[in-house]
Amino acid sequence: MISITKIASKSLLRKRLRSILTLLGIAISSWVLISLLGFNQGYERSLDDDIDNLGFQVLLTAKGCPYEAATLMLQGGAGLRYMPDTVIDSLRSMPEVQNLTPMLMQAVFDPMVGENGTVVAYSGVDPATFPKMKSYLQFEKGTWFSDPTATEAVIGYEAAELEQREVGDLILVPEKNVELTIVGILKRSGTQDDGTIFVPYLALQSIFEVQGKLTSVGIQVGKDVDVTAFEDKLYELPDVQVVSMAQVKSTISNLVGTARVMVMSIALIAILIAMVGVVNTILMSVFERYQEIGIMKSMGATAGHIFRLIWTETVVLCLIGGLLGAAMAYGLAAVTESLIRYLLPYSPKGSLVYIDGMLMLKSIGIIIGIGVVSGLYPAWRAARIKPIEAIKKSEGEL
Amino acid sequence: MKQLLIIALCLLLTPLVAAVGCDLNDPDGDIRRLFPESTGYKTSYRSIQREGGRALLNTIENRLGDRFSGLYETIDNPYTIYDVFSGTRKIGVIHGVNQKGRTGGIQIFLALDNNGIIKKLYLQRISSRNNRLYRAESFTNQFIGLKLEDFDRWNVARATGTGKVAAIRNPVANDPDFAAIMRGIKKNLILMKHFSQ
């Protein structure tokens, strides 16, 4: 005996073009849904990775705007305000502080870079503490500075490649007329460090005549430390601002929050459109098969059989459409990612669209769920068809 | 599927990423300065890959006496050529190359007449603390009138030579950027010889 699934498949194949168009609608909606859910997942992961790569949980900066501080940490750039380096002694006396590293950002206009010159930033770091915090940094060639006050530089992979710099080459600090000797080139890390020029902060203080000044201090706290309470304690220090990684994450999440709400709304609209399309297709199918359904009923098919038949057609359409959409989302993830990266105000370095098996299963589940709901009404209407009336008329009124 | 698409995208984007050419920052002003009698110019782009591929690269390297290496010396590196006109008459050509120096990349432009003779040397970019000495006319004017055949007697690997080129004075004693500039000029002249054929 022929099964209900086979009858449903045959019915769908009878009107191929309409079935394919409906499938495409469902597939595109599924693609949008899975891509956006993958974006939500990937963005969080990449942001976490970016923040982990900073190597510290709390950043202490001179008092200023929190967005400036967040930018300083994630994008690099010149510190806008200074704090005295005596703050290090105060921090070292705090039991919550596990490790700390003083930092000094400086920037200078280099007329030789680009068409009209550009601002080149130098990141002053402490060779004794900074490498421990950035344990992921590895050397392509060379090593860290020979001395905490040496006029030496360690440069990121891209900074070296673009300028064809090698260990032993020099970097001229424009305006200051000081040459830094390159002692190390880092391996590509996929972070902002790839384009950074690291210099011992004491040397940078001397070059830029800002002795005794810092722009920030990176702090690693103990695992059992209450970071919120520790932040409050840090605010007791004069003229400082505390930026925790949780704050940075929250600030960036807020920045992109509006964009995320918008894209999720678009996804919802796409799903609603697909649902209406499915209902319309199945209703049309029932409408055209009005007489056929009547004959089936007169031959012994029950209302339950008809209901299941129409419902199965809907679910089959949604299942195939969902699978197709999942394949599209997975295959076109790179394209989706570049589009999102173009639109967002800030995007972390890692993969922005992360689609795994679980996400695809969940999304296909949602699409099938939509199919189940969308099929209810047409199936119910089909089940209510009266056989005598249906056989008399070639087409029904639904 | 995902890998295939990524590979396809990478292949599409590779030429864009690899395109590290050497253009004049202010073509209108620079060309008027290098060829005061010019009334216009036409820009074209060449690459070793397109003009002759690996065989041409070998020929260029042999004549240079050194191997191409690094980001700016790839086979597909695009070279910008400015054909300079006075009215409808072509009066010369300007071409620049990137050359690794001790303090970063050096951008070396040559203004050549129709016979490939240097009319002017223009160092658009040199980050060395001695950049003023290298960009001074007392240094750059030494190259006026020289041609590729003169540089054939210059060994870029040893930075030594004979003939007219050997007489060029290094403005900064024992500074390695001098050797880099000489290599860049010879490379520029060789490339122009092949691109103008």
The verdict on a CB contact (< 8 Å) between B1 and A334 is no
Residue B178 exposed, middle or buried by CB count within 10 Å (0-12, 13-18, 19+): buried
ipTM: 0.72
Residue A128 pLDDT level (bands cut at 50, 70, 90): very high
Segment A243-266, tens digit of pLDDT: 887 777 777 777 667 767 777 787
Segment B111-133, tens digit of pLDDT: 999 999 999 999 999 988 888 99
Residue A179's pLDDT is 92
The verdict on a CB contact (< 8 Å) between B102 and A335 is no
Which of A164, A331, A334 is opposite residue B71, by nearest beta carbon? A164
Residue A87's pLDDT is 92
* CB-CB neighbors (< 8 A) of B72 in chain A: 164
Average the pLDDT over A122-141 and give the result: 89
B10 versus B68: the higher-pLDDT residue is B68
Best residue in A170, A182, A335, A337 for a mutation probing chain B (most B CBs within 10 Å):
A170
Whether residue B118 is contained in a domain is answered as yes
Whether residue B13 is contained in a domain is answered as no
Where in the sequence is the domain holding B151, given as residue range(s)?
A: 21-195
Average the pLDDT over A56-70 and give the result: 69
* Closest residue by Cα to residue A32 from A339, A344, A374: A339
The verdict on a CB contact (< 8 Å) between B128 and A170 is yes
- Backbone phi and psi for residue A246, each to the nearest 5 degrees, phi listed first: -60, -40
Residue B28's pLDDT is 94
Residue B16's pLDDT is 36
Whether residue B85 is contained in a domain is answered as yes
Which of B1, B105, B129 is opposite residue A163, by nearest beta carbon? B105
Which of A115, A164, A165 is opposite residue B72, by nearest beta carbon? A164
pLDDT at B12 over 50: no
Residue B177 exposed, middle or buried by CB count within 10 Å (0-12, 13-18, 19+): buried
Whether residue B15 is contained in a domain is answered as no
Residue A144 pLDDT level (bands cut at 50, 70, 90): very high
Residue A152 pLDDT level (bands cut at 50, 70, 90): very high
pTM above 0.90, yes or no: no
Number of compact structural domains in chain B? 1
Contact by Cβ (8 Å): A105, A77: yes
Tell me which chain B residue has its CA closest to the CA of residue A175: B129
Q: Report the run of H or E that residue A214 belongs to, with start and end.
A: strand A213-214
pLDDT at A120 over 70: yes
Tell me which chain B residue has its CA closest to the CA of residue A334: B6
pLDDT at A71 over 90: no
The verdict on a CB contact (< 8 Å) between A334 and B70 is no
Residue B140 pLDDT level (bands cut at 50, 70, 90): very high
Residue A3's pLDDT is 78
Give the list of residues 6+ apart from residue B8 with CB closer than 8 angstroms, or none. none
Contact by Cβ (8 Å): A382, A290: no
* CB-CB neighbors (< 8 A) of B9 in chain A: 334-335
Residue B15's pLDDT is 35
Whether residue B12 is contained in a domain is answered as no
Whether residue B11 is contained in a domain is answered as no
In angstroms, the Cα distances linking A88 to A103, A138, A239, A260 are 11, 27, 14, 40
Segment A156-212, tens digit of pLDDT: 998 888 888 889 999 999 888 899 999 999 998 877 788 899 999 999 999 999 999
The distance of A44 to chain B (nearest Cα, Å) reads: 21
Residue B197 pLDDT level (bands cut at 50, 70, 90): confident
pLDDT at A77 over 70: no
Token output for A105: 């950002």
Give the list of residues 6+ apart from residue A150 with CB closer than 8 angstroms, or none. A181, A183, A200, A203
Residue A298's pLDDT is 86
The secondary structure of residue B166, as a DSSP letter, is G
* CB-CB neighbors (< 8 A) of A207 in chain B: none
Mean pLDDT of chain A: 83
Mean pLDDT of chain B: 87
pLDDT at A274 over 80: no
Best residue in B4, B5, B132 for a mutation probing chain A (most A CBs within 10 Å):
B5
The Cα–Cα gap between A172 and A260 comes to: 43
* CB-CB neighbors (< 8 A) of A334 in chain B: 2, 5-6, 9
The verdict on a CB contact (< 8 Å) between B1 and A327 is yes
Whether residue B8 is contained in a domain is answered as no
Interface of B to A at Cβ within 8 Å reads: 1-2, 4-6, 9, 25-26, 70-72, 98, 100, 102-105, 125-129, 131
Average the pLDDT over A355-370 and give the result: 88
The Cα–Cα gap between B196 and B95 comes to: 11
* CB-CB neighbors (< 8 A) of A173 in chain B: none
Residue B24's pLDDT is 92
Whether residue B9 is contained in a domain is answered as no
A57 versus B135: the higher-pLDDT residue is B135
Handedness of CA A207, A212, A215, A217 (dihedral sign): positive
What is the DSSP secondary-structure string of B171-194?
SSTT-HHHHHHHHHHHHHHHHHHH
Average the pLDDT over A55-71 and give the result: 69
Best residue in A172, A338, A351, A354 for a mutation probing chain B (most B CBs within 10 Å):
A172
- HSE-CB at A149 with a 13 A cutoff on CA atoms is 2
Contacts A–B by Cβ distance under 8 A: 54
* Closest residue by Cα to residue B83 from B94, B98, B72: B94
* CB-CB neighbors (< 8 A) of A169 in chain B: 102-104
Residue B124's pLDDT is 92
The Cα–Cα gap between B107 and B164 comes to: 23
Segment A87-103, tens digit of pLDDT: 999 999 999 998 899 99
In angstroms, the Cα distances linking B23 to A123, B93, B108, B125 are 30, 13, 10, 11
The distance of A351 to chain B (nearest Cα, Å) reads: 13
Average the pLDDT over A61-87 and give the result: 63
pLDDT at A31 over 50: yes
Residue A78's pLDDT is 45
Contact by Cβ (8 Å): A305, A4: yes
